Amino acid sequence: MINISFISGDQKIQNYNKTYKDTELFVNVEKELYENYPEFRDLEPFFLVRGAKIKRFRTLKENQIHDGDVIMLNTYNEDF
């Protein structure tokens, strides 16, 4: 079991913490996050951990996400 935190570049998510098995697919973690923050679902989000982009259909372990990591949710700015 690993505890991870989420923050978003726009500061709308600050210190959202959850515990998961390291065998969990990241796409399932992402889906659960959208249940609490549905406004991010359609903003073409991407996630970073320690500067590396997270691959959605890989496990937390395969993405090298460790206990205590902070995952940054970023979105592409549609105004550009």
**Does 24 fall in a domain?**
yes
Whole-number pLDDT of residue 80? 40
Whole-number pLDDT of residue 77? 63
Phi, psi of 27 (to 5 degrees): -60, -35
Describe the strand order of the beta sheet including 52-53 as a list of residue ranges: 16-20, 2-8, 70-75, 45-49, 52-53
CATH number at residue 24: 3.10.20.90
CA distance 12 to 73: 10
Query: What pTM was computed for the model?
Result: 0.88
**Does 48 fall in a domain?**
yes
Mean pLDDT by 10 residues, the chain (80 residues): 95 93 97 94 91 97 97 76
Q: How many domains does the chain have?
A: 1
**Does 26 fall in a domain?**
yes
Q: What residues make up the domain containing 41?
A: 2-75
**Does 22 fall in a domain?**
yes
**Does 62 fall in a domain?**
yes
Q: What residues does 6 pair with on adjacent strands?
A: 16, 71
Whole-number pLDDT of residue 43? 86
**Does 70 fall in a domain?**
yes
**Does 66 fall in a domain?**
yes
Whole-number pLDDT of residue 24? 98
**Does 80 fall in a domain?**
no
